[in-house]
A and B are shown apart, each in its own frame.
Chain A
Amino acid sequence: MPYCVLCGVRLKDSNNRCPLCGTPVILPDQYSGKAGNNELPLKRDEPRESFDRDLWVKLVSIILAVPILLTLAIDYFVGTGISWSIYVLTALALVWVWCVSPFLVRRNIFPLWFALDTAALSGFLFFIERLSNTGNWFIPLAFPLLIFTSALIFSIVFLFRKKIIRQLQKPAILLLIIGLLCLFIELIVDRYKYDGYQPGWSFLVAIPCSAFAVILLILQRRQWIVEELKYWFRI
């Protein structure tokens, strides 16, 4: 029967390493895999899917189909054909895509459904521009704002989910991104409205955001402050 040379505890014949310190068992040739631990089950208890994806897709489709059909019918029979109802139809189609896109494929692939949602919103805005005859605002204004905002949201979610940033770095990065977004919004709006760039209000947002972000990043380096904040906010 093997012993751990560091901990001094007796180990099972099947142990190749000490469970307490990870030290390899002395004379592994003699012991390892000889007896095999048949007390240990091989099966694992994996989490079961508690959310019925198919039911959700069907439910959303039915719930949205009712107002779509109702609006089309009212518009067709009360008015002079299909006119305003097309706006409702496209808006509800967008809602449908947003609701069901995460559940269309078996695995939850965030980049895939997020790209689908962004494309759907982009298509919706393009459609509204064409239908409403309100000038050329999609390409110079709406599209760059949409793409930039989506890229920022995607980066935040990616950083949070992959746990690349932690604790106080999270609000710091959020503040930096808010500042960056404001700068970009002002740039695009100015270019669209005045065909130039006059920095103004966005700096009033970006500067305090950056200052707070720097303070948080410095605080992050003081671990005891983080622990204290975690305790007080019960995180």
Chain B
Amino acid sequence: MVKKENTSRRLFRLDNAAHIYPAIKNQKQPGVFRVSATLYEPVHPGILQQALNVTLKRIPGFSVKLRPGLFWNYFVHTDDALPIQEDVQNPCMEITKKENDGFLLRVRYHGCRIALEAFHSVTDGSGALTFLKTLVAQYLRLQGITIPAEKGVLDCTSPPKPEEVQDSFRPFALGTHRIRRKEPRAYQIKGTPLPPHNISIIRGTIPLEEIRKAGKRHNVSITEFLTAALLYNLNGLQLCENPYKLLPVRVQVPVNLRGHFETETLRNFSSFINVELEPRLGDYSFEEVLKLVHHFLRFEVNEKFLRSRVAANLRTEGLLFLRVVPLMIKNPMIGLGYKIAGPNTFTSILSNLGNIDVPHELAEYVKKFDIVLGASKDTAVKCAVSGFKGSLRVNFTSSIEEAMVERAFFTFLVGQGIPVEVESNQE
């Protein structure tokens, strides 16, 4: 039985994945990510503001402010208007309480681009994309263009559904046997930290057909091909850096659980798989890495394994001693737990949102979609991928000055015969 959130009370419990972000959030680890859509025409700020007001009413799970309770944080729904902002060169910076009147998201515009930056406690990539698609559709509707409510675009004339703010982790995994594997320390990318409040974004645009062909040559999917390419190049960097003290190289691949459980939630509903390469066992060819990643992901990404992973997290949340400890003490405990068991266990992240599907009436007006992960001190380089209109956009986010990972990755793709166009926010 699915427990529905009481929307009339206008209070939302944080979902299982959301609890960690308020506890670890700081300037160096903002927990913010961004999805953006670039249109063919320049954005009109006045109309965008109207569209945002309507979209926030339709998706109340995003119109929330974080409030500390005695034992847990919780969200309070608000009817306040969220003002749109001009876009900046250094996106995904920390969303502070003072800023935005306590909202946990920003909507930004620049030229033809509309961007949504969201604190990860509110939603995940898929939820944010639904919000962005609905916002862009509403923006176009206000200009007299008819966009049907399908393929992730919500109908703003209909009332919000309680299922959209439901915490789907519990019905998905509660009561399942949990499997927790011990993952020792992984190789960490080192470099010169960027000055505070800076982020390096290097974007590679790749023809989707070319990368699909490359994947087909080896009988692997695009995610598997890109993950293998990243693992292979990270391992190469480690070998150059310190060949005498090798550590496992792990890439964290987020998995959207919506593909494994019927839900309409727009809140967090994803898990992750850490794909590992053990360089101490010997040298790997790219074909070997591809095979390893392919079989590892096929083995791990199935409903039963994912349930057990989520169940392990739910069990931690449900521990009696953790529940009775006041939030003031709980937050540092969560922060310490994250520091011990979190970022040291993987080298980088590769998040693939897949090919973004929109109604063809909307596709006519949108040139490209992008997803950017926020930089963090602990994971120096992260990668986010999305496909739209025959192009694959690979966005590397980094908190260090050196672009050796990005360079190794993109030059490797060029070496595989895949053309790459590169741009950066550091011009």
- Asked if residues B420 and A10 are in contact (CB atoms below 8 Å), the reply is yes
Which B residue's beta carbon lies closest to that of A52? B98
Which B residue's beta carbon lies closest to that of A47? B197
Q: Is A20 an interface residue (CB 8 A)?
A: yes
Q: Is A50 an interface residue (CB 8 A)?
A: yes
Bound-state Cα–Cα, A6 to B427, Å = 19
Chain B residues in 8 Å Cβ range of A42: 89
B 375-422 contacts with A by CB, 8 A? 403, 406-407, 410-411, 414-415, 419-422
Which B residue's beta carbon lies closest to that of A224? B245
Q: Is B61 an interface residue (CB 8 A)?
A: no
Q: Is A213 an interface residue (CB 8 A)?
A: no
Bound-state Cα–Cα, A41 to B89, Å = 5
Chain B residues in 8 Å Cβ range of A20: 202, 403, 406-407, 410-411, 422
Q: Which residues of B contact A (CB under 8 A)?
A: 27, 38, 86-91, 93-94, 96-99, 110-111, 113, 185, 196-197, 202, 204, 242, 245, 339-340, 344, 403, 406-407, 410-411, 414-415, 419-427
A-B contacts, 24 of them at CB < 8 A, read A7-B407, A7-B410, A9-B204, A9-B422, A10-B421, A10-B422, A12-B422, A15-B427, A19-B202, A19-B403, A20-B202, A21-B407, A38-B111, A41-B89, A42-B89, A44-B90, A44-B197, A45-B88, A45-B90, A45-B91, A45-B197, A47-B94, A231-B344, A234-B340
A113 CB to nearest B CB, Å: 21
The residue in A16, A40, A50 that gathers the most chain B C-beta atoms within 10 A of its C-beta is A40
Chain A residues in 8 Å Cβ range of B406: 19-20
- Asked if residues B197 and A9 are in contact (CB atoms below 8 Å), the reply is no
Given contacts A18-B422, A50-B97, 15 further A-B contacts (CB under 8 A): A7-B411, A7-B422, A8-B414, A8-B415, A9-B204, A10-B420, A12-B423, A20-B406, A20-B407, A21-B403, A37-B423, A41-B86, A43-B88, A50-B98, A231-B344
- Asked if residues B427 and A14 are in contact (CB atoms below 8 Å), the reply is yes
Which A residue's beta carbon lies closest to that of B86? A43
Chain A residues in 8 Å Cβ range of B419: 10
Bound-state Cα–Cα, A11 to B205, Å = 10
Q: Is A48 an interface residue (CB 8 A)?
A: yes
- Asked if residues A50 and B96 are in contact (CB atoms below 8 Å), the reply is yes
User: How many residue pairs, one in A and one in B, have C-beta atoms under 8 Å apart?
Assistant: 96
The residue in B86, B420, B427 that gathers the most chain A C-beta atoms within 10 A of its C-beta is B427
A114 CB to nearest B CB, Å: 22
Q: Is A39 an interface residue (CB 8 A)?
A: yes
- Asked if residues B96 and A19 are in contact (CB atoms below 8 Å), the reply is no
- Asked if residues B89 and A9 are in contact (CB atoms below 8 Å), the reply is no
Residue from A4, A14, A18, A47 within 8 A of B27 (CB atoms): A47
Bound-state Cα–Cα, A16 to B424, Å = 12
Chain B residues in 8 Å Cβ range of A37: 423, 427
Q: Is A195 an interface residue (CB 8 A)?
A: no
Q: Is A29 an interface residue (CB 8 A)?
A: no
A163 CB to nearest B CB, Å: 10
Contact flags (1/0) for A195-229 with B, using CB distance below 8 Å?
A: 00000000000000000000000000000100000
Chain A residues in 8 Å Cβ range of B197: 44-47
Bound-state Cα–Cα, A15 to B98, Å = 37
A 161-217 contacts with B by CB, 8 A? none
B388 CB to nearest A CB, Å: 16
Bound-state Cα–Cα, A14 to B422, Å = 11
Chain B residues in 8 Å Cβ range of A39: 38, 110-111, 113
B101 CB to nearest A CB, Å: 13
Chain A residues in 8 Å Cβ range of B344: 231
Contact A9-B414, Cβ < 8 Å, known A41-B110, A46-B197, A48-B96: yes
Bound-state Cα–Cα, A38 to B43, Å = 13
Residues of chain A at interface, number, CB under 8 A: 30
Bound-state Cα–Cα, A43 to B196, Å = 16
Contact A19-B340, Cβ < 8 Å, known A8-B414, A38-B111, A45-B197: no
Bound-state Cα–Cα, A15 to B421, Å = 11
Which A residue's beta carbon lies closest to that of B27? A47
Bound-state Cα–Cα, A132 to B111, Å = 72
B233 CB to nearest A CB, Å: 12
- Asked if residues B93 and A45 are in contact (CB atoms below 8 Å), the reply is yes
Which B residue's beta carbon lies closest to that of A49? B98
- Asked if residues B87 and A9 are in contact (CB atoms below 8 Å), the reply is no
Which A residue's beta carbon lies closest to that of B91? A45
Bound-state Cα–Cα, A8 to B87, Å = 31
- Asked if residues B411 and A11 are in contact (CB atoms below 8 Å), the reply is no
- Asked if residues B202 and A7 are in contact (CB atoms below 8 Å), the reply is no
- Asked if residues A11 and B421 are in contact (CB atoms below 8 Å), the reply is yes
Bound-state Cα–Cα, A37 to B196, Å = 25
Which A residue's beta carbon lies closest to that of B110? A41
A21 CB to nearest B CB, Å: 6
Residue from B86, B196, B423 within 8 A of A19 (CB atoms): B423
Bound-state Cα–Cα, A7 to B410, Å = 8
Q: Which 10 A-B pairs have the closest CB atoms?
A: A19-B424, A20-B407, A10-B421, A45-B88, A8-B414, A41-B87, A9-B422, A41-B110, A45-B93, A9-B420
Chain B residues in 8 Å Cβ range of A7: 407, 410-411, 414, 422
Which A residue's beta carbon lies closest to that of B97? A50
Bound-state Cα–Cα, A178 to B242, Å = 36
B395 CB to nearest A CB, Å: 12
B29 CB to nearest A CB, Å: 14
Chain B residues in 8 Å Cβ range of A231: 185, 344
Bound-state Cα–Cα, A226 to B162, Å = 52
- Asked if residues B113 and A11 are in contact (CB atoms below 8 Å), the reply is no
Bound-state Cα–Cα, A234 to B336, Å = 9
A87 CB to nearest B CB, Å: 37
- Asked if residues A19 and B421 are in contact (CB atoms below 8 Å), the reply is no
Bound-state Cα–Cα, A21 to B410, Å = 11
Which A residue's beta carbon lies closest to that of B406? A20
Bound-state Cα–Cα, A10 to B203, Å = 12
- Asked if residues A44 and B411 are in contact (CB atoms below 8 Å), the reply is no
Bound-state Cα–Cα, A81 to B257, Å = 78
The residue in A9, A10, A15, A16 that gathers the most chain B C-beta atoms within 10 A of its C-beta is A9
